[in-house]
Amino acid sequence: MNRRYFILGLLGFTALVSIRKVGAMGLFDQKKSSKEFAFMLNDAEWKEKLEPEAYHVMREAGTERSGTSPLNNEKRKGVFHCKGCDWELFSSEHKFDSGTGWPSYWQPISDKAIGISVDRKLIYARTEEHCANCGSHLGHIFDDGPKPTGKRHCINGIAMVFKPAEA
């Protein structure tokens, strides 16, 4: 009986590792690249427009290291725009300190600012957030944010540019 549980456990572990590897290759992901966006560039143009780390985050759905974005500490009034296409994404009025090391917001600037898809790169599904205008990966949405929405839009700062409000 113990051998049976051991074999079942080993098979389950192997299946989880395989699923994670397949997910990391992007086979389970919705392909945003096949969708038409208002602002579109080909891969060579994106590589020319963005520095390598921004390209990795925005076009390959990577993640910047926690605590590395200067936008995490941005406290001025203004608007956070997509670095890829200059689309307005988040207002400073909706920004809060989540303690995660990434800029966090409890809502986007408008309902048309972002798009969402399912991210299955990890064993569990997450809600991925991308720019509604160009499809660039921004981060993920979690259900542990402040009121009134209870949402935490956890965004890679390298995917955005901050534009301060005019005095």
147: which residues sit within 8 A by CB, 6+ positions away? 106
Structure-token pair, residue 103: 């800029």
Look at the alpha carbons of 166, 95, 39, 47 in this order and tell me if their dihedral is positive or negative: positive
For residue 59, the one-letter residue type is R
Catalytic residue among 82, 85, 131, 154: 154
Look at the alpha carbons of 151, 157, 161, 163 in this order and tell me if their dihedral is positive or negative: positive
Query: Quick check: is 85 catalytic?
Result: no
Asked if residue 136 lies in contact with residue 82, where contact means CB atoms within 8 angstroms, the answer is yes
145-146-149 Cα angle (round to 5): 85
69: which residues sit within 8 A by CB, 6+ positions away? 102, 103, 156, 157, 158
Which residues are catalytically annotated? 154
